Amino acid sequence: MTHSMRDIGRRPAKSLMGNLGLAVMLGLLCLVSVPRPAWSADKEKEQQISRVIAKEMQAAYKAAQTKQWSDVVKNLDEALTKSGLTPFDQKSIYYMRGVADVNLKDSKSAQVDFEKAVATGAASAEEKVTINRALFSIAASSGQYQKTIDYGKEMVDNGTATPEIVLAITQSYYLLKDCKNAILWSDKAVAAARKAGEAPKENLFLFKLQCYSDAGDNASMVPVLEDLIRLTGKASYWNTLLRIERQEERDDHNTLMVYRVMLDTGSMTAGTDYIEMAQLLGDAALPGEAETVLEKAFAANLIKDDQKERTTRLMNSFKTRADADKKGQAQFDAEATKNPAGELDVKLGEVYFGSAEYPNAVTAINRGLGKGGIKHLDEAYVYLGRSQVALKDTADAKKAFGSLKSVPNISPRVLMLWELYAETLH
């Protein structure tokens, strides 16, 4: 499981950084604009460019209008050679030079120039926001994880961060192998996305999942997997969750319940799981369903060569028992109908389910529930819900699974899994 979790966690992180970097660099020109020079003969006016560099700045501005970015840089470099430059002069030069660098696709120089513009102390609050966003974009696209975090946090603090920016902070912590902060910021990013009315990105949960997996913290992995299942419905997350839960289970009754969820979510991928589930079903006097489970394993080519002979014998034995049950089904139905307790009706419904007679299964189980006196109410509601899913009756299926919470002494694990399954039904 650890190996697969590494594959799950790291591949998306790498591709996400690439996508994020491309997106921010393409959007960078929308974030920074070419400043229009404002001249002043009064050198005491700190918010206007000095006349000493008026010629160079005017030439740079004109070159920018025609997108002659190399000429912009040339004129700005000439301006930097002048003596007596004010902090505002320097800020204006470096800011405009940063814009030119971006257009020349020289992000390294752009970062240096934007940082120098901020260091002058002359940038306005609005300019600081714009420059900081540009610096964040450059850092994110070039894999500067700590700077991505630092610039991103500034935007979080001043209220200008988007959910994507909080996501990039999370990812940067993860790539720095700082799981404590990656988990903390993952939660913040999820909250930011939901506040913006957006679905959280799958990667946000994968960062947490990988961190918990690396730490061997299965208990913390479970709620993250639940979130991923709700978000994506992917069988791979069901498989990981159910393997954790099965590993922790010691009771055969509940283990079989876990296998039922695994089968119904399409997340059973090992032939040995099919074999064990079939054996448990056989022990529960449900040979028809056991036979069907093994047939699915063979159809999916999951039974290994050294297991085929034994598994085939097992499947044939279930078939013999299932055929016998089929012959006595009418008598079983009559006995169950007459019995004042509902236990036989439910067992009959389970047999009907195993032979894919879903309408009869629903009728028998509902009749049994109406009578009461059922030994395993959890099984009654589960088979009722499964039959209704097979009949595409989603509303009644959810109602059946929802009734599990009223079952006395039901396993919390079993209840959680079926409630989660019901949430994914559409």
| pLDDT tens digits along 194-247 | 999 999 999 999 999 999 999 999 999 999 999 999 999 999 999 999 999 999
Q: Where are the alpha helices (DSSP H) in 197-304?
A: 202-214, 218-232, 235-248, 252-264, 271-283, 287-299
Mean pLDDT of 169-192: 96
- pLDDT attached to residue 248: 86
- Domain covering 2-218, topology: 1.25.40
Do 123 and 131 touch, CB atoms closer than 8 A? yes
State the Cα–Cα distance between residues 346 and 342, nearest whole angstrom: 6
For residue 146, report the phi and psi dihedrals to the nearest 5 degrees.
-65, -40
State the Cα–Cα distance between residues 223 and 218, nearest whole angstrom: 10
Mean pLDDT of 89-109: 94
State the Cα–Cα distance between residues 390 and 256, nearest whole angstrom: 19
DSSP-assigned beta bridge partners for residue 39 = 49
Mean pLDDT of 84-105: 94
The mean pLDDT value of the chain amounts to: 89
- Domain covering 222-423, topology: 1.25.40
CATH 1.25.40.10 in the chain is located at 2-218, 222-423
Count of other CB atoms within 10 angstroms of residue 424: 12
pLDDT digits (tens, 9 = 90+) for 301-322: 999 999 999 999 999 999 999 9
